[in-house]
Structure 1
Amino acid sequence: MTSPLDHPAILTRLAEGAGLPALDVFGPQVEFLTMIEDGSNEVCVMRGVIPPGVTVPLHQHDDFEDFYILAGGHQVLVEEGGRLEWRDAQAGDYVRVPGSVPHAHRNLSDRPAVDLIITTPRMGRFFKEIGRPVGAPPPTPEEVTRFVHTALRYGYQLGTSEENAAVGIDLPAFNL
């Protein structure tokens, strides 16, 4: 199977999508541009879309994540001088999130934000495990519980409701 990156025009098409199956990862959507199953990839490359109004809550994990913003923009919560601060990221910006650093994303605009995401194959496996079909109904409490348990199994730390509220993120209430 050839990768979409084998096509010379892929960088001009990534903002619109590579035509690959996408997964909803609890708000954002990802398309895998490199395969993670064959074991030969040292990184996982995805096209990510954060729809308007979607927030990725505060979290951290050992895996690095690099984001090159292809289209639109969003805010990234990063640690600066021991404090968490929101920074605007627009098309053409590159955001590096080292492993074990708390971070979050939110798209406050009326347009989707499209990123090229470079991370570890382990992070790709996590996304595949928790991913749902694009267009699926909102997650049930059982699906949220499965997400939380999967994140913990991977060693990911999810921010509490209080930690999220402290940085301006209001989490929906679920009975977990």
Structure 2
Amino acid sequence: MTWHKTKAMVHPAVSARGFWVMGDQVTVRAKLVGTALNVIDVTVPPGSGTPPHTHSSAEIFRILEGTLTIWTMIDGVAREYEAEPGDVVTIPGDAPHGYRNAGSVPATFMAIVDDEMIAFFEEAASKDAPSGPPTAEMVSRVIELTGRHGIQILQAA
């Protein structure tokens, strides 16, 4: 065994880096060195979320605050689930999915995502919170970036 080459790491909250992707606030919390695994926190304001989409990477969400409506396509059938604090949502690679916050308070979840998703988030990032709904220019830019990062936006559910 190579115990001498391994070590646990604490990633203090003050070292997290945050930005906005469309209407959601994304905070990169940690990366597991030697893997493609990353931990992020996502805060979804009321009315915000992602359209139905697919990508090759799997994701795991753990709802921390608020409620998210999770949309998935299983065996050709669209389904929606209400995910509440403490719930864990697992999304296999290539599975059609999306989420939205239909509530009146922000929803926050922790996610485990791969390096490609982090690369997409960082390229789509804005330092400043949006002052309103996404503009046509913002939507066009994100759609262009999704194609470069292996994300396919599906028709609305």
Alignment TM-score > 0.5, same fold: yes
User: What CA deviation, in whole Å up to 9, does each residue of 1:131-176 have, x standing for no partner?
Assistant: 11232445443332221111101121112xxx20xx2xxxxxxxxx
Q: In structure 1, what is the Cα distance between the partners aligned to 2:36 and 2:31?
A: 10
Q: Which has the higher contact order (CA 8 A, sep 6+)?
A: 2
Q: How does 1:47-66 map to 2 (within 5 A)?
A: 47-66=41-60
Deviation of 1:44 after TM superposition, in Å, equals 1.2
| Corresponding pairs, count | 147
Which stretches in structure 2 are left out of the alignment for 5+ residues?
1-8
Matched, 1:25 2:21: yes
Q: Higher mean Cα deviation, 80-89 or 112-121?
A: 80-89
User: Structure 2 counterpart of 1:143, which letter?
Assistant: M
Matched, 1:157 2:152: yes
Which secondary structure state, in structure 2, belongs to the residue aligned with residue 132 of structure 1?
coil
Which secondary structure state, in structure 2, belongs to the residue aligned with residue 145 of structure 1?
helix
Counterpart residue number, 2:110 = 116
User: Structure 1 counterpart of 2:124, which letter?
Assistant: I
Deviation of 1:35 after TM superposition, in Å, equals 4.5
Counterpart residue number, 2:10 = 6
User: Structure 2 counterpart of 1:146, which letter?
Assistant: R
Counterpart residue number, 2:4 = none
1:66–1:117 Cα contact (<8 Å) kept: yes
User: Structure 1 counterpart of 2:109, which letter?
Assistant: D
Which secondary structure state, in structure 2, belongs to the residue aligned with residue 133 of structure 1?
coil
Matched, 1:147 2:142: yes
Which stretches in structure 1 are left out of the alignment for 5+ residues?
11-17, 168-176
Q: 1:100 aligns with which of 94, 99, 107?
A: 94
2:17–2:27 Cα contact (<8 Å) kept: yes
Q: In structure 1, what is the Cα distance between the partners aligned to 2:31 and 2:37?
A: 9
Q: In structure 1, what is the Cα distance between the partners aligned to 2:38 and 2:46?
A: 25
Q: In structure 2, what is the Cα distance between the partners aligned to 1:100 and 1:50?
A: 23
Counterpart residue number, 1:80 = 74
Q: Share of identical aligned residues, percent?
A: 30
Deviation of 1:83 after TM superposition, in Å, equals 0.5
1:43–1:120 Cα contact (<8 Å) kept: yes
Normalising by structure 1, what TM-score? 0.75
Deviation of 1:72 after TM superposition, in Å, equals 1.1
Q: 1:89 aligns with which of 70, 83, 90?
A: 83
Q: Which has the higher strand share?
A: 2
User: Structure 2 counterpart of 1:98, which letter?
Assistant: P
User: Structure 2 counterpart of 1:149, which letter?
Assistant: E
User: Structure 1 counterpart of 2:10, which letter?
Assistant: D
